Amino acid sequence: MNVSASTIPAELLPAPFAAWFAQRGWTPHPHQIAMLAAARAGRSALLVAPTGGGKTLAGFLPSLVELAETPGTGLHTLYVSPLKALAIDIHRNLECPIREMGLNIRAETRTGDTPAAKRARQRRSPPQLLMTTPESVALMLADAKADVLFASLRCIIVDELHALIGTKRGDLLALDLARLARLAPGARRVGLSATVADPEALAGWLGAGLAAPVERIVGVGGPAPEISILVPETRLPWSGHMGLHAIPDIYAAIRNAGTTLVFVNTRAQAELVFQALWRINDDNLPIALHHGSLGPEQRRKVEAAMAAGRLRAVVATSSLDLGIDWGTVDLVIQVGAPKGVTRLLQRIGRSNHRLDRPSRAILVPSNRFEVLECRAAIEAIRDGELDGTPPRPGALDVLAQHILGMACAGPFRADDLYDEVRQAAPYAALSRKDFDDVLAFVANGGYALSTYDRFRRLFRAADGRWHVIGPRVARQYRLNVGTIVEAPMLTVTLRRGRRLGEIEEYFVQGLEPGDTFVFAGQVLHFERVQGTTVEVTRASSDDPKVPAYAGGRLPLTTQLAHRVRNLLHARTAWRDLPDEVRQWLRLQAWRSQVPAPDGLLVETFPRGGKHFLVAYCFEGRNAHQTLGMLLTRRMERAGLKPLGFVATDYVIAVWSLRPARDIDALFDQDMLGDDLEAWMAESSMLRRTFRNVAVIAGLIERRHPGQEKTGRQVLFSSDLIYDVLRTHEPDHVLLRATRADAATGLTDVRRLSDMLARVKGRITHRRLDRVSPLAVPVLLEIGKESVQGTAIDALLDEAAQELIAEATAMPDDNAGQMDLFEADEK
Amino acid sequence: MAFRGPFGLWSAPRMSTRITLNDEALLADPTGALFWPTERLLIVADLHLEKGSSFTHRGQFLPPYDTRETLDRLARVIQRYRPVRIVCLGDSFHDADAGSRFDRGDLERLRRMVGAHDWTWITGNHDPAPPAGIGGAVAPELRLSRLVLRHQPAAEYQAGEICGHFHPKAAIVARGQRISGACFVTDGRRMVMPAFGAFAGGLDALDPAIGALFGRGGYRVLMLGRERLYLFPRDRLVGFGAPRRASA
């Protein structure tokens, strides 16, 4: 439904622009015109549109028109993208209209990779259009001359806004927008976003602190996507997440399509699916692999080949969720459960950027539960019911980083800065106490103990303003800026050969020499660790020890989980399910019962001399992991002798030596009190969370390439700090920030607490004499997943006992020198 | 198990581990302290007091509670073994300036602790001269019976030597899970003690610097668990995956 360029009033689209559109055989989209109109009226705007609708051009068009009419020097438009590569790509795409219309406009990029000399030149003589990232904006704002640089700013464009909101990077950018509003009060804001559940929230975020509301503009959407579920000829697996059973069907689909994006959920899965596809790739189709652990040069190569249309398929993780448009993709395959509706829709949107034809997608569930999830996701897309995370308050560690940056820009009054940061949406409700505590932390640690009164980073001068103590503080800030804390990584290198990519150190730590694993599309033999390098050789084995990357596995969203529960309950909907799944559910209804949409079904049964408890919570793996930790703690206290637990996105199973009888008491909300506190003291996930908080807040230094200090050391020392701080100042602002993070993310405590409240008094306990059909999948996970819930000492004990048994069989050359036993108290 | 020492029958706390070092019977405690019942002597290594506050000169404000935490631990272990003598095996103070950074309360507490015992500060590379006014004797090393206590090991193999300095830490893999902790390292004749300080870092027990101290017979580690110690031979250990600098 395009308008002809000639019918558009010239005050919106001046003649040279109309001519340029005509020359390319394009007509402006209505949303592009609407964006021009909004800009003319000086209004900020949020454009929500699917990919391929000329969204980025719509964002820039008003700036180009303005600059063509009234050329000015100085920075006019700041474009912020979450991806460095995207900023660079957008820059390239903009050069085309600028050149073809002969506009006298300078557009440049500025990212962490921009050489210092160029950055200095950009400060002296800024381009009119600057493409950059949230981190670079923060750095520019921390400069003493920031007020000069941004005084001329007329427009701020935030791309992929949906990907920033609710994240710490989004918090950082929101704070920067608040500062920009002070430096350039007249600047418009433009948000560009993919389709989301709650555009109102996005508009609110974008327009926070502005006098006029943000105009919402909805881009034209294409026809509804065509999504099908692939149920292979072979038996549908009971458990597992890899989807390897369907490889022949996936291969056939790739063969029948032009270019296919095969999305998977984890890097390990990407490796395995890629391998399996090549094993049967008799036609030698160019199929590539793309995930975050591969070397950047390798990823760039794949992206370039894709852009050039040289590939038939790419197996990718979320590393390709965002990014450069490839017009050529005509099929998206999602292997494994989608986990969320919005994300699935965004992935599907990566195919077919022509708006006149529907996107095509195939979902490949990797087990029976995932069939339900795929079905629920398709229905949600049909109903236009997307999911999103509810807004959360801005993180205090990010605020600490921002306050230090603002102090580097120049002295400030606490009252003024407090007012300013509350103009950022995530910090609108920030209490003065929190602000003061964070400020005290930035100044000298903010500890109750007054040891550090003599030492400070910031000091308050006689005029009441806060100053940095010296230039060293600004250096420190520049090295630490940003909210992304990388896990310690090691480089994987073939012995005497090339670099294959990077891998999380904790994964390598679980390997023993001789183990095999899949990485960079090949089966590798772990040889040894040398410095920060993992030395590997190519393995002949086809049966690798699978990398069990814990990261990258997103939990099932609340909304999708709700739909799955409803689907389970609505028997009439079972008709549309594959036979195997339908029979499975019928059998469950007969042997036990199907979980109700509200309430909680808990089954207990004996098996192999142990007692199992299976709870159908549907709250996602992160919340289930936390629940597992807390349940096993209480069961331990109740003398039930729990042995371990395993959690999936749908279900948690706990096993113990004695049966659990009082299920209501076991699931009581009070487990979120002392049990949670005690668990937090030990949890490695909380330690990781604290480490990230400590790095972002600037308590401990970030690792930088070439530094002698390794990531592992940062991890180690942050653990010591966590222990000491928890004992001696449990209410310190960084521990508060850590607890706030624990409410979502890896531990998902809030979701768990919502569930416990919801099911109170509505728990159905079924005592069975054996395993129920619905419990089979989670029981099959035991042994595949590392079993949790065992105390560290118990594991050490086990290892030591095993050793003693081993040792007694062997001659001991130090016999008599040392003996190990517990001295009894007698 | 009970020991008969010069002070009569003495009961060992449940979770300590009896070891024999150069024919002397000792108790290793899960806090990383070592008790010598016959001498009623308690040994702790590498307290690194005021390490947290030492980073302030770089503009880093780590929690200033490490001294308090270390003193808490020391008080608990003193309570448990009721020693007459206490030997701190060097690097008790993180740097020469540590004395001036003490919180007043912490300092008073340390003075009282020192005053109540026959206390020796062995000098270390971090504290060649411990701060004045805290009390206790200062010595480069201490020879007692068949043992010699010093901060850094002698260049030549010396039976009966107990040293600190390295902050050894070991890791094992059990059920696919990696567990690491500070540890004692010994071959039965010579021993490296774990660091006792709350903020002391660690050096991989597999590091050649530690390996070089023991002969071809190899060595074992006693890893500190939460409630007791666990014995592992060297070949049961896994590396840390990256080189470690000794925080010594």
DSSP string of B20-85, one letter each residue: EETTEEEEE-TTS-EEEGGGTEEEEB---BTTGGGGGGGT----TTHHHHHHHHHHHHHHHH--SE
Average pLDDT, chain A: 84
* B48 min Cα distance to partner chain A (Å): 13
Q: Which of A64, A35, A62 is nearest to A49 (CA)?
A: A35
* B114 min Cα distance to partner chain A (Å): 22
Which of A87-91, A520-524, A540-544, B213-217 shows the lowest per-residue confidence on average (mean pLDDT)? A540-544
Residue A93 confidence class, pLDDT cut points 50, 70, 90: confident
* pLDDT (0 to 100) of residue A553: 63
Residue A784 confidence class, pLDDT cut points 50, 70, 90: low
* pLDDT (0 to 100) of residue B242: 39
Contact residues for A484 (Cβ-Cβ < 8 A; gap 6+): A169
CB-closest option in A724, A729, A793 to B227: A793
- Residue with the bigger pLDDT between A408 and A386: it is A408
Is A800 within 8 Å of B231 when comparing Cβ atoms?
A: yes
**Contacts with A, B 21-60, CB within 8 Å:** 27, 52-53, 56-57, 59-60
**Contacts with B, A 617-676, CB within 8 Å:** none
**Contacts with A, B 123-162, CB within 8 Å:** none
**Region for A650 from its dihedrals, namely left if φ exceeds 0, alpha if ψ lies in -120 to 50, beta otherwise:** alpha
The answer, yes or no, to whether residue A714 has pLDDT greater than 70, is no
What residue has token string 């969320």? Answer: A340
Q: For residue B103, give the chain A residue with the closest CA.
A: A451
Q: Is the dihedral of CA A26, A27, A28, A29 positive or negative?
A: negative
**Chain A residues touching B97 at Cβ < 8 A:** none
Cα–Cα distance measured from residue B248 to residue B245, given in angstroms and rounded to the nearest whole number: 8
Contact residues for A305 (Cβ-Cβ < 8 A; gap 6+): A286, A288, A311
Residue A711 confidence class, pLDDT cut points 50, 70, 90: very low
Cα–Cα distance measured from residue A183 to residue A453, given in angstroms and rounded to the nearest whole number: 34
* A125 min Cα distance to partner chain B (Å): 33
Query: CA-CA-CA-CA torsion for A632, A488, A751, A174, nearest 10 degrees?
Result: 160
Is the CB of residue A277 less than 8 Å from the CB of residue A268? no
Q: pLDDT above 90 covers what percent of chain A? A: 45
Residue A82 confidence class, pLDDT cut points 50, 70, 90: confident
Which of A314-318, A432-436, A461-465, B196-200 shows the lowest per-residue confidence on average (mean pLDDT)? A314-318
Is B65 within 8 Å of A729 when comparing Cβ atoms?
A: yes
Tens of pLDDT, residues A116-170:
899 999 988 999 999 999 999 999 999 999 999 999 999 999 998 988 888 899 9
Cα–Cα distance measured from residue A64 to residue A67, given in angstroms and rounded to the nearest whole number: 5
Average pLDDT value for residue range A59-85: 91
* pLDDT (0 to 100) of residue A248: 92
The number of residues in chain A equals 826
Q: Which of A784, A606, A620 is nearest to A237 (CA)?
A: A784
**Chain B residues touching A504 at Cβ < 8 A:** none
Beta bridge partners of A424: none
Instruction: Quickly count: other Cβ atoms within 10 Å of residue B56's Cβ.
Output: 20
Q: Which of A132, A134, A70, A136 is nearest to A107 (CA)?
A: A132
Q: Is the dihedral of CA A459, A461, A467, A471 positive or negative?
A: negative
Q: For residue B57, give the chain A residue with the closest CA.
A: A455
The answer, yes or no, to whether residue A545 has pLDDT greater than 70, is no
CB-closest option in B59, B65, B244 to A728: B65
Cα–Cα distance measured from residue B112 to residue A210, given in angstroms and rounded to the nearest whole number: 61
Is A451 within 8 Å of B202 when comparing Cβ atoms?
A: no
* pLDDT (0 to 100) of residue A65: 95
Instruction: Quickly count: other Cβ atoms within 10 Å of residue A55's Cβ.
Output: 23
* pLDDT (0 to 100) of residue A487: 66
Cα–Cα distance measured from residue A262 to residue A282, given in angstroms and rounded to the nearest whole number: 18
The answer, yes or no, to whether residue A818 has pLDDT greater than 60, is no
Is the CB of residue A53 less than 8 Å from the CB of residue A2? no
Q: For residue B231, give the chain A residue with the closest CA.
A: A800
* A634 min Cα distance to partner chain B (Å): 19
* pLDDT (0 to 100) of residue B246: 32
The answer, yes or no, to whether residue A59 has pLDDT greater than 80, is yes
The answer, yes or no, to whether residue A319 has pLDDT greater than 80, is no
Which 3 state secondary structure label does DSSP give B204? strand
* pLDDT (0 to 100) of residue A159: 92
Is the CB of residue B32 less than 8 Å from the CB of residue B225? no
Pairing relationship of beta strands B118-122 and B85-88 according to DSSP bridges: parallel
* pLDDT (0 to 100) of residue A718: 84
Average pLDDT value for residue range A740-753: 84
**Contacts with B, A 427-456, CB within 8 Å:** 441, 444-447, 449-452, 455
Q: Is A820 on the interface with B (CB under 8 A)?
A: yes
Instruction: Quickly count: other Cβ atoms within 10 Å of residue A670's Cβ.
Output: 11
* pLDDT (0 to 100) of residue A819: 34
Which of A332-336, A530-534, A625-629, B109-113 shows the lowest per-residue confidence on average (mean pLDDT)? A530-534
Residue A807 confidence class, pLDDT cut points 50, 70, 90: very low
* pLDDT (0 to 100) of residue A794: 66
Report the residue of A408, A441, A449 to disrupt the B interface, i.e. the one with the largest count of B CBs within 10 Å.
A449
* pLDDT (0 to 100) of residue A515: 75
Average pLDDT value for residue range A26-52: 90
Beta bridge partners of B171: B180, B238
**Which of A538-542, A549-553, A740-744, B188-192 has the largest mean confidence?**
B188-192
Question: Strands, E, within A598-734: which ranges?
Answer: 600-607, 610-616, 642-647, 652-656
* pLDDT (0 to 100) of residue A789: 45
The answer, yes or no, to whether residue A817 has pLDDT greater than 50, is no
CB-closest option in A447, A490, A803 to B63: A447
Residue A321 confidence class, pLDDT cut points 50, 70, 90: confident
Is A824 within 8 Å of B232 when comparing Cβ atoms?
A: no
* pLDDT (0 to 100) of residue A707: 46
Average pLDDT value for residue range A795-809: 57
Q: For residue A468, give the chain B residue with the closest CA.
A: B59
Q: Which of A14, A21, A28, A91 is nearest to A58 (CA)?
A: A28
Contact residues for A402 (Cβ-Cβ < 8 A; gap 6+): A138, A172, A175, A176, A421
- Residue with the bigger pLDDT between A495 and B127: it is B127
What residue has token string 């308008």? Answer: A3
| Lookup: tokens for A6 | 């000639």
Q: At what angle do helices A15-23 and A84-100 cross, to 10 degrees?
A: 100
Q: Is A732 on the interface with B (CB under 8 A)?
A: yes
Cα–Cα distance measured from residue A469 to residue A94, given in angstroms and rounded to the nearest whole number: 43
Residue A51 confidence class, pLDDT cut points 50, 70, 90: low
Cα–Cα distance measured from residue A682 to residue A669, given in angstroms and rounded to the nearest whole number: 21
- Residue with the bigger pLDDT between A350 and A284: it is A284
Is B202 within 8 Å of A796 when comparing Cβ atoms?
A: no
The size of the A-B interface in CB pairs under 8 A is: 196
Rounded to whole angstroms, what are the CA distances from A138 to A151, A428, A689, B183? 16, 19, 23, 44
Is B59 within 8 Å of A473 when comparing Cβ atoms?
A: yes
The three-state DSSP-derived secondary structure of A456-487 is CCEEECCCCCEEECCHHHHHHHHHHCCCCCCC
* A810, amino acid identity: M
Average pLDDT value for residue range B154-183: 88
Instruction: Please count the CA atoms within 13 angstroms of the CA of A443 that sit on its side-chain side.
Output: 21
Is the CB of residue A532 less than 8 Å from the CB of residue B242? yes
| Lookup: tokens for B152 | 């850094």
* pLDDT (0 to 100) of residue B125: 93
Cα–Cα distance measured from residue A18 to residue A264, given in angstroms and rounded to the nearest whole number: 43
Which of A179-193, A407-421, A703-717 shows the lowest per-residue confidence on average (mean pLDDT)? A703-717
What residue has token string 């109309």? Answer: A18
Q: Is B121 on the interface with A (CB under 8 A)?
A: no
Which of A429-438, A557-566, A798-807 shows the lowest per-residue confidence on average (mean pLDDT)? A798-807
CB-closest option in B57, B62, B239 to A721: B62
Average pLDDT value for residue range B196-201: 91
Average pLDDT value for residue range B83-102: 94
* pLDDT (0 to 100) of residue B114: 97
Task: Please give the biggest Cα pair distance in chain B.
Answer: 53
**Chain B residues touching A814 at Cβ < 8 A:** 187-188, 217, 220
The answer, yes or no, to whether residue A809 has pLDDT greater than 50, is no
| Lookup: tokens for A281 | 């790739």
State the DSSP string of A581-635: HHHHHHHHHHHS-PPPSSSEEEEEEEETTEEEEEEE--S-HHHHHHHHHHHHHHH
Average pLDDT value for residue range A683-706: 80
CB-closest option in B27, B188, B198 to A720: B198
Cα–Cα distance measured from residue B156 to residue A361, given in angstroms and rounded to the nearest whole number: 71
* pTM score: 0.85
Rounded to whole angstroms, what are the CA distances from A474 to A402, A430, A468? 12, 26, 8
Residue B3 confidence class, pLDDT cut points 50, 70, 90: very low
Average pLDDT value for residue range A192-215: 90
* pLDDT (0 to 100) of residue A52: 63
Q: Which of B214, B209, B216, B225 is nearest to B172 (CA)?
A: B225
| Lookup: tokens for A148 | 């000069």
Q: Which of A464, A422, A410, A516 is nearest to A174 (CA)?
A: A422
Pairing relationship of beta strands B17-21 and A129-132 according to DSSP bridges: unpaired
Contact residues for A673 (Cβ-Cβ < 8 A; gap 6+): none
Report the residue of A408, A437, A454, A455 to disrupt the B interface, i.e. the one with the largest count of B CBs within 10 Å.
A455
Tens of pLDDT, residues A171-199:
999 999 999 999 999 999 999 988 888 88
Is A818 within 8 Å of B12 when comparing Cβ atoms?
A: no
Average pLDDT value for residue range B166-195: 88
CA A400 to chain centre: 22
* pLDDT (0 to 100) of residue A451: 76
Q: Which of A605, A552, A625, A558 is nearest to A785 (CA)?
A: A625
The answer, yes or no, to whether residue B1 has pLDDT greater than 50, is no
